[in-house]
Chain A
Amino acid sequence: MLIVVALLLVAASATAAVAQRDPARQALVLSFMGVLLAALFTVLQAPDVGLSQLAVGSALTPLLIMLSVRKVRRRGRAKKETE
């Protein structure tokens, strides 16, 4: 049952992450999915993989995505000002 719960949540959140349009919102859903994926790996008795997923997915990937989003937005603003 644990496997089913974790698997369903991961599948639902992965679908939701694809369905979002805004990259910042995608990053939010992605970070949720990363944590749930770590729980799924734990349930499947693969704590090493779960730990990797946790380390990368909870803080590092959101930081990289949000920094890119910020750069793109700032560039858009700067372009608008010069026009």
Chain B
Amino acid sequence: MNGWNLAAAVLLGAGGTAALWGVTTGPPARRVIAQNMTTSAVCPALLLLSQGYGRPAYVDLALLLALLGPVGTLVFARLLSGDLSDGRPGAWGLTWTAAGAGTVVVTALCVAVGPGRALVKLLVTGALLIGGNVIASRALAGGFRGVRGG
């Protein structure tokens, strides 16, 4: 096991356990925030795994998760908006921490990959991941307040 895989294991273990704890306990608002954090824990782990196994094709998995993970959170934010309205607003400290962790991972991988097409792909994935998480947090913090029936 090399350093990349070790980092992925730590990220997956720590982030996954914390997210599992959050997603199974507490009020709905907290559960949805934990669901959102799942994406920001697993997606960098997938990027690290791709580097650790030396298979650039595995980056596709992280790219798809960065695209679809926030969409899944938007589903919950929209269709549970009634249950979320009395909860606390989105956890911005946690969101920016996750964004920072994602930035660190993507930067480290960019340095390891070196200039080229793979670097731009990594940057696209990172931008989608961080942007998606911030927007999903915004949606949880009352982004669907005006939604009634539709």
Which residues on A are within 8 Å of B, measured CB to CB? 1-2, 5-6, 9, 12-13, 16, 19-20, 24-25, 27-29, 31-32, 35-36, 38-39, 42-43, 45, 47, 50-51, 54-55, 58-59, 62-63, 66-67, 69-70
Contact = CB atoms under 8 A, between A and B. Distances in A.
Contact of A13 (B20, B28, B61, B71): B20
Given A2-B5, A28-B76, A58 B12 contact: no
Contacts of B9: 1-2, 5
Contacts of B80: 24, 66
Interface of B: 1, 5, 8-9, 12-13, 16-17, 19-20, 23-24, 28, 31-32, 34-35, 38-39, 42, 45-46, 49, 53, 55, 57-58, 60-61, 64-65, 68-69, 71-72, 75-76, 79-80, 83
A69 B7 CA distance: 38
A66 B23 contact: no
A29 B72 contact: no
A23 B20 CA distance: 17
Given A5-B13, A9-B16, A20-B24, A58 B68 contact: yes
Contact of A54 (B8, B23, B57, B64): B64
B49 A31 contact: no
Nearest to B20: A13
A26 B20 CA distance: 12
Given A5-B12, A51-B61, 13 more contacts: A2-B9, A5-B9, A9-B17, A25-B28, A25-B31, A31-B35, A39-B45, A39-B49, A47-B61, A55-B64, A58-B39, A58-B72, A59-B68
A55 B32 contact: no
Contacts of A6: 12
A28 B23 contact: yes
A65 B84 CA distance: 18
